[in-house]
Amino acid sequence: GQQLNQSPQSMFIQEGEDVSMNCTSSSIFNTWLWYKQDPGEGPVLLIALYKAGELTSNGRLTAQFGITRKDSFLNISASIPSDVGIYFCAGQLIQGAQKLVFGQGTRLTINP
């Protein structure tokens, strides 16, 4: 099946640092999504990208849809303790139902 390669797998940073993570795929997707998962919770959508080349921000978060449609990145600026969690990318092919393919996740740990 389709796979997304997400990196890095984990990050240990100091509070206030910027964070960058990315996803690549051998397949083309029509939509890229970034989710955050807190411990014991389900994923929550952070940013959705619908067009190749699109750059979208949501507060301190910025994400881009690669022009080849095979990759995406997420940046978090000036990290704060509540940014701790696991971040997932997901790609969607539009085939009638919203079937998402998820990356393996990036676990973010912040030292105060």
Summarize as ranges the residues that interact with other proteins (CB under 8 A).
1, 4, 6, 9, 40-45, 48, 88, 90, 94, 96-105
Q: CA-CA distance, 43 to 25, in Å (whole number)?
A: 21
- The 3 state secondary structure assigned to 40-65 is CCCCEEEEEECCCCCEEEECCEEEEE
- Fill in the amino acid letter for 88: F
Of the pair 4, 76, the CB lying nearest other proteins is at 4
Write down the least CB distance from residue 29 to other proteins, Å: 14
Beta carbon nearer to other proteins, 84 or 100: 100
Q: How many CB atoms lie within 10 A of CB 95?
A: 8
Spatial distance between the Cα atoms of 109 and 86, rounded to a whole number of angstroms? 9
For residue 78, the minimal CB distance to other proteins (Å) is 26
Provide, rounded to whole angstroms, the least separation between the CB of residue 64 and other proteins. 19
Measured from the CB atom, the residue of 56 and 104 that comes closer to other proteins is 104
